[in-house]
């Protein structure tokens, strides 16, 4: 399936020659969700859903698992861990029509990447214990109230919980990552599938492959909105894991990851 796949390693950040897929259905779904009244959106908050990282986190929220209160975005996490009917109506069409096929593609791609990185030995764990989520992120335009706050980033620097984080729809400009030298690079938009390793890859490879530290910088034009859709491979909550000094369930692994922050 990926005989012609070319991976280009840019100091932890990996580009491919796979043309980006269209995000139109998922983008429209996220937009339809975000215009619902707050009371409706909060029925699907991360806290209410209580499954992995699934659900809604809003801008300014102080108790989100996956963003700081200073991060300038709304996010909705979908996954193949929760049952589809637990997600709100605006996402249903995407979940039925595109999500399963996209996850199949991601699974094939990730297995091929593991092979090329010399980690085919993880295939059995991957097949049995790895599931996926997609974090749908919307960064609204920066209003006057936000202008007055001293901010340096749109999304603060962090590493992801994932084995890999995959941008199936490419990237909008503003993504930034830290090279091994400590220098930070800010990327322009990219129209191919791109990816990078997360905390799980670092754990499983015993530190040989480092999780990429990354964030999103403020745009020059403060009125510019931004969308991003990141697919994460992560252990199922019930997964049995033993890698290096870590032994526990998938849920224990999420806790260990979150303890860094
Ligand atoms: Fe991230």
Report pLDDT for 145.
60
Q: SS3 for 235? A: strand
Residue 169's closest CA among 247, 94, 244, 248?
Answer: 94
Read off the tokens for 138.
């919307």
CB 194 within 8 Å of CB 231:
no
CB 215 within 8 Å of CB 153:
yes
Please say if the pLDDT value at position 150 is more than 60: no
Q: How far is the CA of 42 from the centre of ligand 1 (A)?
A: 23
Q: SS3 for 2? A: coil
Q: How far is the CA of 77 from the centre of ligand 1 (A)?
A: 12
Helices assigned H by DSSP within 99-249: 99-116, 123-129, 144-147, 199-204
The conformation of residue 122, written as its DSSP 8-state character, comes to: G
- What DSSP assignment string belongs to 52-92? TT-EEE-TT-SS-SS--TT---EEEEEESSS-GGGS-GGGH
Q: How far is the CA of 75 from the centre of ligand 1 (A)?
A: 12
Q: How far is the CA of 171 from the centre of ligand 1 (A)?
A: 12
Please say if the pLDDT value at position 252 is more than 80: yes
Q: How far is the CA of 124 from the centre of ligand 1 (A)?
A: 26
Q: How far is the CA of 230 from the centre of ligand 1 (A)?
A: 8
Q: What is the mean pLDDT of the chain?
A: 93
For the stretch 204-229, pLDDT in tens is: 999 999 999 999 998 888 889 999 99
Which domains, and CATH codes, for the chain? 7-258 (2.60.120.330)
Report pLDDT for 33.
98
12-16, 206-210, 222-226, 252-256: segment of lowest average pLDDT: 222-226
Contact partners, residue 139, CB within 8 Å, separation at least 6? 72, 73, 154, 155, 216, 225, 226, 227, 228
Largest Cα–Cα distance in the chain? Answer: 52
Q: How far is the CA of 214 from the centre of ligand 1 (A)?
A: 6
Read off the tokens for 64.
């989100």
Mean pLDDT within 156-180: 96
Percentage of the chain beyond pLDDT 90 is 80
Q: How far is the CA of 254 from the centre of ligand 1 (A)?
A: 14
How would residue 147 be classed by pLDDT, with cut points 50, 70 and 90? low
Q: How far is the CA of 128 from the centre of ligand 1 (A)?
A: 24
Report pLDDT for 153.
86
Q: Considering only residues 59 and 93, tell me which one the structure prediction assigns the higher pLDDT.
A: 93
Q: How far is the CA of 71 from the centre of ligand 1 (A)?
A: 12
CB 105 within 8 Å of CB 47:
no
Mean pLDDT within 139-165: 81
For the stretch 63-103, pLDDT in tens is: 777 777 777 889 999 999 999 999 999 999 999 999 999 99
Q: How far is the CA of 3 from the centre of ligand 1 (A)?
A: 29
How would residue 148 be classed by pLDDT, with cut points 50, 70 and 90? low
Q: Considering only residues 146 and 40, tell me which one the structure prediction assigns the higher pLDDT.
A: 40
Contact partners, residue 92, CB within 8 Å, separation at least 6? 84
Long-range CB contacts (within 8 A, 24+) of 40-44? 40/88, 43/88, 44/76, 44/87, 44/88
Q: How far is the CA of 158 from the centre of ligand 1 (A)?
A: 6
Residue 43 phi, psi (nearest 5): -65, -20
Q: How far is the CA of 85 from the centre of ligand 1 (A)?
A: 26
For the stretch 108-145, pLDDT in tens is: 999 999 999 999 999 999 999 999 999 999 999 887 66
How would residue 256 be classed by pLDDT, with cut points 50, 70 and 90? very high
Q: Considering only residues 78 and 62, tell me which one the structure prediction assigns the higher pLDDT.
A: 78
How would residue 237 be classed by pLDDT, with cut points 50, 70 and 90? very high
């Amino acid at each position: 399936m990926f005989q012609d796949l070319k991976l280009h390693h840019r100091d932890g950040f990996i580009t491919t020659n796979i043309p980006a897929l269209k995000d139109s259905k998922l983008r429209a779904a996220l937009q339809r969700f975000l215009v619902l009244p707050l009371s409706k959106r909060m029925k699907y908050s991360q806290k209410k859903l209580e499954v992995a990282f699934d659900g809604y986190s809003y801008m300014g929220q102080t108790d989100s698992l996956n963003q700081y209160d200073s991060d300038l975005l709304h996010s909705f996490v979908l996954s193949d861990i929760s049952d589809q009917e637990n997600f709100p109506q605006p996402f249903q069409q995407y979940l039925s029509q595109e999500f399963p096929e996209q996850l199949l593609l991601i699974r094939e791609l990730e297995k091929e990447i593991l092979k090329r990185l010399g980690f085919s030995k993880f295939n059995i764990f991957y097949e049995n214990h790895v599931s996926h989520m997609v974090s749908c992120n919307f960064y609204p335009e920066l209003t006057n109230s936000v202008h007055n706050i001293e901010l340096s980033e749109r999304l603060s620097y962090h590493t992801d919980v994932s084995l890999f984080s995959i941008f199936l729809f490419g990237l909008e400009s503003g993504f930034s990552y830290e090279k091994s030298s400590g220098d930070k690079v800010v990327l322009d938009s990219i129209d191919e599938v791109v990816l990078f390793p997360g905390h799980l890859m670092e754990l499983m490879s015993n530190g040989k492959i480092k999780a990429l530290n990354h964030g999103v910088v403020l745009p020059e034009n403060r009125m510019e909105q931004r969308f991003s859709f990141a697919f994460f491979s992560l252990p199922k909550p019930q997964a049995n894991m033993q890698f290096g000094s870590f032994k526990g369930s998938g849920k224990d692994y999420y806790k260990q990851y979150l303890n860094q922050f």
